[in-house]
Every structure is written in C-alpha cells, then in structure tokens.
Structure 1
Amino acid sequence: MADDFIPASSGWVSKVEWWGSAPFTSQDEFEITFHTDNNGKPAATGNFGGISQWTTSVQALDNDGDDVYHYFIDWEPQDVFLEAGSTYWFSVANASGNAWTWANPGGVAPTVGAQQFNAVESTGVGPNGGPHFGPWDSLDNQDFAFRISSVPEPLTLLGSATALGFGALFKREHSKRQKKG
C-alpha cells in the first residue's frame, strides 16, 4: 500500500514513522519506499519501484494499549530529498509475511504537509509487481497514518538566518530613527 503527500517544506528525509496493527510484539521486517508521482499513482522507478527503498527491522510499540502500534526509524543515510509542493508517495510493506495493516489517521497521527486521501494498493506479484511496483488500485477516500520528518536544506537555513538578521538590523535602525525624531 502507498499513500501520497505533498511536503510543506523542502529537505532531506531524516525520520519515518507510521501507525498500524500487528499480531506481533517483537521486531519485524518492513520494506519502506518513497516514490515520485505518476498521474496520481506511485511511479515505479529503479529496480525496486521507487526513488529510495529500505528493508529494515522495526519494533512495534503500543504504549497506550489500544492495539495501534507506532513504528519509527531514523532514515540514515539521508538519501531522499523532498521538494516542497511536489507530490510523493510513501509505501510500507511487511517483508516477513506477517499480517499487518496500516492505520487510518483518525487523530492517531499528525499529517505531513498536505495528504490527499488517495491511498492505493499494489495488485502486482513477483519481480515486475508486488508491494512497490503496482499495478495500483485506488482505495477511495483512504488515508494512512504516517509522518515524515526532514532536515531543511542548508540554503533554506542560510536564507532564513539572513532574513532574520536583516529584520533585526532594520528594526534597530527604525528604533534609532524614532528616538531621534
């Protein structure tokens, strides 16, 4: 399954979180993939179906006992740059074959940028299909609970710091002129 999102700001992915249900409480393997958009569906690019993919062992945490588990990993190395205003797809699949379902957000998790309620499910199998290649079937009015954290690009940080500096300088000069006048 995959869900689309539009980042509010540009930056390198640093942390990935998602919520779902699972019949296990120990670590399990997940494939996590980022896709670009292809006419409202995840683009299948590269030899794994996306712009970046990891298979990683993740612990399921259910701190409040509601059977909705919180999964999270630090995305290292930071190899996915998300451009503000562009549509991307986030795909999660259980790599070990355990039954797992992705939670609808319903107040469980914050949104990331603008989510479009256009979740899709891959119906493909084998090396030319499967969890990240499609073909994709729409899951109308579905949205899944996830959060992508990113580190702003250095030029964005530099631009923000410069703007704040100029703002402080102009405010000080304005205050001096007010005192003289």
Structure 2
Amino acid sequence: MILRYLPNALTISRLLLAMPLGLLILRQEYGWALAVGFLAGATDALDGFSARKLGYFSRFGAALDPIADKLLILVTFCCLASAGLIDWWLAAVVVGRDIVIVLGALCYRALIGPFEFGATPLSKLNMAIQIAFCVLLLAAQLVAVPPLLIAGAAAVVVISALASGIDYINTWSRRAWQNRGRQ
C-alpha cells in the first residue's frame, strides 16, 4: 500500500524543486531550468492523476498541492524578474493574485469558519497559462522566439491572473455572504 503515499510524495518533490529551479534561472542555466520545470510540471500532473485514479486522497495532500503550486510560481516569477527576463510588474501581478487569494482564505476562515477549498476551472486555466508562459520564456533563452509572441503571452498571463483573481473574490464573497452567521 505504499502507492497511497505517491501523490503526497510527488507534491513534496514539487515543493523541493522550487529552490533548484529558482537558482538555475538566477544562474542563467536555462536548459537545466527548463528540465527542472518540466520535472515539476510532471509531478503536478502525476500527483493529481494518481490521487484521482488510485483514490488516494488526503486532507494533507489537498492542502499541500496548492501550496506547492503557489511556491513554484512565486519562486519562478520572482527569479525571472530578478534575472531581467520579465518586468517586476508582471511578477507582482502573478504573486499579488496569489496573496489576495491566500489572505481571502485566511479571512474567510477567521470570520466565517472552515471551508473546503478547491481550485476553480478558471484558476486551473490560469495555472496552465502561467506554466506555459514560463516554459516559453525559458525556451526563448535557448532558441529564437519572436519578442511579439512573448509580449502577447505576457498579456495573456496578466488577463488570466486578473480574471481568475476576480473570479475567486466573487465566488468566495458570495459564499461568505451566504454562510455568515451560520458558524
């Protein structure tokens, strides 16, 4: 029954990959950064697949998975900005969205009570867009990619981050309004 620990082990490995990925970006070792990024993406896909297909869900894993995702995105975007590959304002939009979501969850917990958190479809799309953007940007350091494509992809990142952030705010504000006083 060791397989039941597989999803959590994969999530923990993704947490542990954030630091090497950031260091590789800062050292301008983009080929290795791309490889580590693919590995982190694979662990994300595999932990979700193994949890669903094998039925090995845990509260620990459900809580840890979004933390691993957010840490990976935070480290990647901050290091991309530090390396001068993106503007700091773009990193701030991405990281700011996650900060708003986390603060909102903490406020909900403190003011309303416990909740079952789940990623919205728009949030999942946003994560996929952010990952694709990071892959594109790292690949652009190794092969020629038109600057217009990178600029367009950055615009899509901003739009998806803002849209999914607003979606979370609306969804959880409605839930808070409906559940006020029930706890």
TM range (shorter): under 0.3
Higher relative contact order (CA 8 A, sep 6+): 1
Q: Which structure is higher in strand share?
A: 1
Structure (1/2) with the larger helix percentage: 2
Please give the TM-score of this superposition, normalised by the length of structure 2.
Answer: 0.22
Answer with 1 or 2: which has the greater Rg.
1
